[in-house]
Amino acid sequence: MAEPTYSREGLEHLATTGGPVPGQSLTNNPEEPYDWEKAPKFTAVTPALDTIFVELTEPETYHDLMDLMHKGVPIGNITDILIYKGFTSGLWNPDLAVMLLEPVMYMLIALATHGGIDEPVLDDEAEVMDSDEQLTEVQKVIETAKEKIIPALTTTGIPREIQQRVETLEIPESPSETPSLLSKPEVEQ
């Protein structure tokens, strides 16, 4: 195998980008863990939601939040940011973060409605397809499968010997005609 060649500029760029060195987390002092490595501050949904609500309704935060929603930033994106920030700050663990997603979205929708935004953007609209587009995509997948996958299965899946055996196979009797092994044998008189 050939040795990779590295340019001086590329190595200097890697050395100065400031990213962590692979394995660096294994050398961190165990006495000084990151916030998300410690026990979380909240372990139940209700106290965490109360804290989020208080934080979101502070005047400066509330006005910034309303500006974001007026500009069309999706509520799903805002929720993701809030939940991730709470996790990295050590407020909750990943399990509680997942449980907080839905109630925080409803809280943001309620705040948006209260703030005069009648139809807040819930998620990125670019990803939403109408039913005709979905049907077209499904039909494309089916056609691709018919053209590429099914012919490959029929030509390479079964050896010729087995195909010949299947063609010459005698069809066994139906189960109703064959006596069961557990049935009483017929006694000749």
DSSP result, 133-169: HHHHHHHHHHHHIIIIIHHHHHHHSS-HHHHHHHHHP
Shared domain check, 134 and 104: no
pTM of the model: 0.55
Mean pLDDT in the chain? 80
Shared domain check, 102 and 136: no
Q: Domain count of the chain?
A: 2
Domain containing 148 equals: 129-161
Shared domain check, 45 and 95: yes
Position 124, amino acid: D
Tens digit of each residue's pLDDT (9 = 90 or more) over 48-80:
999 999 898 888 888 899 899 988 899 999 999
On the 0-12 / 13-18 / 19+ scale of CB atoms within 10 A, 86 is buried
Is residue 5 assigned to a domain? no
Tens digit of each residue's pLDDT (9 = 90 or more) over 87-103:
999 999 999 999 999 89
Shared domain check, 97 and 141: no
Tens digit of each residue's pLDDT (9 = 90 or more) over 121-134:
888 655 566 777 77
Of 82, 114, 146, which residue sits at a domain end? 114
Is residue 65 assigned to a domain? yes
Of 87, 114, 141, which residue sits at a domain end? 114
pLDDT of residue 1 exceeding 70: no
Shared domain check, 136 and 82: no
SS3 183: coil
Rounded distance between C-alpha atoms, residue 52 and residue 58, angstroms: 10
